[in-house]
Amino acid sequence: MVSKSDLIDIRRLSLQELESLVKELGQPRFRARQIHSWLWTKGARSFDEMTDLPKGFRQTLRERFALRPIEIDKVQHSLDGTIKTRFRLYDGHLIESVLIPVPEDKRFTVCVSSQVGCSLTCKFCATGRMKRVRNLEPGEIFDQFWLVNQQSMEHYGHPLTNIVYMGMGEPLLAYRNVWRSIERITDPEGLNFSPRRITVSTAGIARMIRQLADDGARFNLALSLHAADDEKRNQIMPINEHNNLAVLMDALEYFWHRTRNRISYEYIAFAGFNDQPEDADRLARLCRRFPVRVNIIEYNPVEGVSFTKSPEDQIDAFARRLRKHGVMVTVRRSRGKDIDAACGQLANKG
């Protein structure tokens, strides 16, 4: 008898594979669409919920496949309305997601994770201090969206409006599963979420940025830039040594011309490191090759890291200098700092 841990997760199967499966099991073809709808439209968490399937067929599915939804492990509420949720996966590992509400703009964003841990060791990031264990399954990413959407409805009476792949892990190192999760979430026959409201963030993997373009990505792309010259970026982001700024700019320009999707630069302001006028001038030069928006982010303290955040007046002066260069700039004040839910703070802390 096959052990439960060896069963294939049914959410790995495409609709076409489900159609082959039901045919093999002597069921009519429409059963495949029923299963697909339960998984990706109704968010079923067990085979027992699939009540329009015959009981015997449900038992056969239980014996041959696994359905491994993520489970809520801990929920923390910030004073500013942000909600951080720690989820437990079927194998016991933990990940975190964050609901970021802006009710006055009717904007409710979920920040989802794509990996357990991270392998990139960015010097300012709590997740980067963790060991990468594995990529998340498409269903595990989908579940984050599904469960946080329920939170948004419960607490704010409004569904999620945006998804950012900016949680734990590097999405482009979990490329296939991230891509499949977006397919599931945006499927017109499923949740039909607009890909224009999805942003995938990367620390900068040039060949995979080009792959996104070649695969016809319809979602937005964010580069975690944080320094506008190679010398400084090498100091804080080791990935830059193999994906330097010249290579990244070529890849992003390729992405822009192939997709016309929105590109943004995420730029954490560190006091005395990358927040000076000459840093703004270098950053402005990187914004001239294709349309791009710069999001300046307050640094959020991480235990054991020596960086400190730039003062607000310094950040504002930096933003003004960029605007004088004609750069589109948004200054993002951190949300959820009191529960370690802000940018760079996700680390499964108790």
Mean pLDDT of 174-181: 97
In CATH terms, the fold of domain 71-339 is TIM Barrel (3.20.20)
Residue predicted with more confidence, 316 or 1: 316
Query: What is the tens place of the pLDDT at every residue in 121-134?
Result: 788 887 767 778 89
Mean pLDDT of 163-192: 96
Per domain, the residue ranges of the chain are 4-66, 71-339
Exposure on the CB side of residue 189, measured as CA atoms within 13 A: 8
pLDDT for res 281: 98
Mean pLDDT of 62-73: 96
pLDDT for res 3: 60
Do the Cβ atoms of 220 and 212 come closer than 8 Å?
no
CA distance 163 to 59: 35
pTM for the full predicted model: 0.93
pLDDT for res 306: 79
Active site residue 266: no
DSSP string, 174-191: SHHHHHHHHHHHH-TTTT
Considering the chain, what is the average pLDDT of its residues?
A: 93
Residue predicted with more confidence, 213 or 307: 213
pLDDT at 344 over 70: no
CA distance 226 to 233: 7
Query: What is the tens place of the pLDDT at every residue in 92-119?
Result: 999 999 999 999 999 999 999 999 988 8
CA distance 124 to 111: 18
Residue predicted with more confidence, 169 or 340: 169
Q: What is the largest CA-CA distance in the chain?
A: 70
pLDDT at 187 over 60: yes
Active site residue 125: no
Structure tokens at 19: 């159609």
pLDDT for res 231: 97
Query: What is the tens place of the pLDDT at every residue in 275-326?
Result: 999 999 999 999 999 999 999 999 887 777 778 899 999 999 999 999 999 9
Backbone φ, ψ for residue 84 (5° rounding): -105, 130
CA distance 91 to 207: 31
Selected catalytic residue, list 96, 137, 266, 298 = 96
Residue predicted with more confidence, 339 or 185: 185
> pLDDT tier at 345 (50, 70, 90 boundaries)?
low
Within 8 A by CB and 6+ apart from 175, the residues are 208, 211
pLDDT for res 130: 76
Q: What percent of the chain has pLDDT over 90?
A: 83
CA distance 203 to 266: 10
Selected catalytic residue, list 111, 125, 287, 343 = 343
Structure tokens at 105: 């703009």
pLDDT at 349 over 70: no
pLDDT for res 342: 57
Mean pLDDT of 326-348: 72
Alpha helices, H only, 41-137 = 55-64
CA distance 119 to 133: 9
pLDDT for res 318: 97
The reply to whether CATH 3.40.50.150 applies to domain 4-66 is no
pLDDT for res 301: 78
pLDDT at 211 over 70: yes
CA distance 295 to 344: 15
pLDDT at 160 over 80: yes
pLDDT for res 339: 61
Mean pLDDT of 230-259: 96
